[in-house]
Amino acid sequence: MHSTASHPRATRLRTLALAVALALGSFAAQAEEFVVGSQIPLTGSLARVGNGMLEGIKVAVEVFNARNTGNTIRLEVIDDESVPAKAVAAVEKLAADKVVALSGGYGSNLIGPASEAAEKAGLTYVTSGGVSDELTRRGLKHFFRINNNAGYAKAMAGLFEEMKLSSVAIVYSTKDATEGLAKAVAADLEAHGIKVTLHAFDPAITDFKPIINKVRLQDRAEGIAMVGYENDYVGILRAAKVLKPSSVKAVVGVWSLATAQMAQEFPELMPQVYGTAMLPFPVEFKSEAGRQFATAYERLYHKEPDYLGQFGYVQSMLLFEAIDRAAKNGTLAKGGLSEELRRTDAETIIGQVTFDANGDNPHFSHRMGQHQNGKVALVWPDAEATAPKQFPGVPW
């Protein structure tokens, strides 16, 4: 009795399974896999930031493929070893491998020649790793980026103006992107009546005491702006902790500073230091898209996401969505991807993104974070703030 009754149910189950299998089979037949290339520094001087961005790109692949849009993305990665000539070679190899577009690149000096190589191959190149103004002055048709110097300068200058300081010493690395940013911040501050002194330094220097001594004895500045990279910040802050310039009320840096890693690795140097930050630490996302990114990131890497991953994720998701749209409307094979990407108008986890004729994102504006009690709080602009800023305040 029992056995006879189970027969019709088993038949129904088999029929259902067959139907599902057929449906999936037909769906799989329609789905197409697109290969996206990534030329990115995984070794050499930019290894840390390159690896950070790649994590975000891989999360984007994971999230996009899980959406079941009918198309999937596969990533082909080549390490450019932080060398411009190898970045060009990587792009040429990826073009030869017939990738449909490129997402990656770090450092304006690498992105410049790499994106020119992509342009020659007719490949769309999207990045968040190069903020130099020169990159978008070249008039390339296939070059896109989601962040720029203007957005960083606006945030740094905005914070200083809110503090109502009378003078700021800008200590900056002579690299292309940092020099451009330092000069943009200087122009903005001077336009608001703040006295600015500029101190350029060679990227190879490790002892910042002679520079900070000038700030202490000659400039007597109320604020120090650091425009460099992590190793520079550590050197500058250590020199400042030794020399203790008494006039200084705030120390403000730019990228890679207001991060969980810096809070954990250099707890004695970071208290009350400011830096650009898209996320507070511990990470807290208000939007559903942000939470989706954070969940996927934590699942893949077992750690909290950082800004490098966040930027890598956004640039890649916008590219993958454009590939999907272009594939569906039949323009992908006819070189229509860049045009499709240019039509982007999306609210993302770094804010609104659109692209102008030069591939730049005119909406990009950063936020400022401050190290407070081992955490990073967003303190500027007011609309994004998670805590009031601790001002005046310096690590010494």
Partner 1 sequence: MTELILQSLYSGLLVGGAYALIALGLALVFGTMKIINLAHGELVLLAAYVAYTAESQFGLNPLASIPFALVIVCASAVLVYLLVSRIRVNRELNSLILTFGLGIILTNAVLIVWSANIRSTSSAWLQDAVVLGPLFSMRSEVVFFVLSLALAGGLWWWLSRSWYGRAVRAVSSNRDAAKLMGIDPVRTELVSFVVAGVLASVAGVAIYSSSVIQPALGHALTIKAFIITVLAGIGSMPGVLLGAVLLGVTESLTVTLASSALQELAGMVLFLLVLFVMPNGLFGGARRRG
Please report, as ranges, the residues that interact with partner 1 according to CB under 8 A. 43-45, 47-48, 50-51, 82, 174, 199-202, 204-207, 209-211, 213-214, 217-218, 230-231, 234-235, 238, 241-244, 261, 265-268
Give the nearest distance from C-beta 132 to partner 1 in angstroms: 17
Give the nearest distance from C-beta 168 to partner 1 in angstroms: 17
Residue with smaller CB distance to partner 1, 230 or 340: 230
Q: Using an 8 Å Cβ cutoff, are 248 and 240 in contact? A: yes
User: What 8-state DSSP symbol labels residue 349?
Assistant: B
Please provide residue 54's backbone torsions phi and psi, each rounded to the nearest 5 degrees. -60, -35
Long-range contacts of 329-335 (CB under 8 A, 24+ apart): 332/34, 332/100, 335/122
Tokens for 40, please give them: 């990115």
* Cα distance between residue 158 and residue 385, in whole Å: 14
Residue with smaller CB distance to partner 1, 117 or 260: 260
Give the nearest distance from C-beta 216 to partner 1 in angstroms: 9
* Cα distance between residue 26 and residue 5, in whole Å: 33
Residue with smaller CB distance to partner 1, 210 or 392: 210
Residue with smaller CB distance to partner 1, 202 or 345: 202
Give the nearest distance from C-beta 50 to partner 1 in angstroms: 8
Give the nearest distance from C-beta 265 to partner 1 in angstroms: 7
Give the nearest distance from C-beta 245 to partner 1 in angstroms: 11
Q: Using an 8 Å Cβ cutoff, are 137 and 348 in contact? A: no
- Helix 307-328 to helix 47-66 angle (10° resolution) is 40
Give the nearest distance from C-beta 48 to partner 1 in angstroms: 4
Residue with smaller CB distance to partner 1, 42 or 117: 42
Residue with smaller CB distance to partner 1, 183 or 325: 183
Residue with smaller CB distance to partner 1, 65 or 231: 231
Q: Using an 8 Å Cβ cutoff, are 163 and 225 in contact? A: no
* Cα distance between residue 34 and residue 38, in whole Å: 13
Please name the helix (run of DSSP H) or strand (run of DSSP E) that holds residue 294, with its range, or none: helix 288-301
Give the nearest distance from C-beta 38 to partner 1 in angstroms: 17
Q: Residues 57-95, buried b or exposed e (16+ Cβ, 10 A)? A: bbbbbebbbeeebebbbebebbbbbbbeebbbbbbbebb
Please name the helix (run of DSSP H) or strand (run of DSSP E) that holds residue 232, with its range, or none: helix 230-243
Long-range contacts of 244-248 (CB under 8 A, 24+ apart): 244/216, 244/396, 245/212, 245/215, 245/216, 245/220, 245/221, 246/216, 247/216, 247/220, 247/221, 247/222, 248/215, 248/221, 248/222, 248/223, 248/224, 248/394
Residue with smaller CB distance to partner 1, 275 or 290: 275
Give the nearest distance from C-beta 84 to partner 1 in angstroms: 15
Round the CA-based radius of gyration of the chain to a whole number and report it.
24
Residue with smaller CB distance to partner 1, 297 or 320: 297
